[in-house]
């Protein structure tokens, strides 16, 4: 299992006042169990999902990652 632990506030960086702590565990056998708290956190702390634009951006990111995985699989079928 991997741990994603993001930023602690940095008093020396003026832009850090907008940073929020986040912590989640990634269980490779349950990736959606990791993504749900990620999206919950983002929806609470930002306005990303308050418009269709944000949803479209997330969908575009998912398509981009899916394409990257597909291309890597095509280049090296033994890796997957």
pLDDT for position 11: 42
* pTM of the predicted model as reported, rounded to 2 decimal places: 0.63
**Is 57 found in the same domain as 22?**
no
Q: How many domains does the chain have?
A: 2
**Is 56 found in the same domain as 21?**
no
For the segment 11-26, what is each residue's pLDDT rounded down to a tens digit?
Answer: 455 555 688 999 999 9
**Is 40 found in the same domain as 77?**
no
Contact 54, 48 (CB under 8 A): yes
Residue listed under structure tokens 């008093």: 11
**Is 66 found in the same domain as 38?**
no
pLDDT for position 69: 94
**Is 42 found in the same domain as 53?**
no
**Is 54 found in the same domain as 36?**
no
Contact 42, 50 (CB under 8 A): no
> pLDDT tens digits, the chain, 80 residues: what are they?
555 554 444 445 555 568 899 999 999 999 999 999 999 999 999 999 999 999 999 999 999 999 999 999 888 766 55
Parent domain of 37: 1-46
């Amino acid at each position: 299992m991997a741990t994603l632990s993001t930023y602690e506030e940095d008093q020396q960086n003026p832009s850090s006042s907008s940073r929020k702590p986040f912590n989640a565990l990634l269980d490779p056998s349950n990736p959606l169990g990791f993504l749900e708290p990620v999206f919950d956190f983002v929806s609470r702390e930002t306005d990303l999902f308050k418009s269709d634009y944000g949803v479209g951006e997330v969908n575009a990111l998912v398509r981009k990652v899916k394409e990257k995985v597909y291309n890597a699989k095509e280049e090296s079928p033994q890796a997957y």
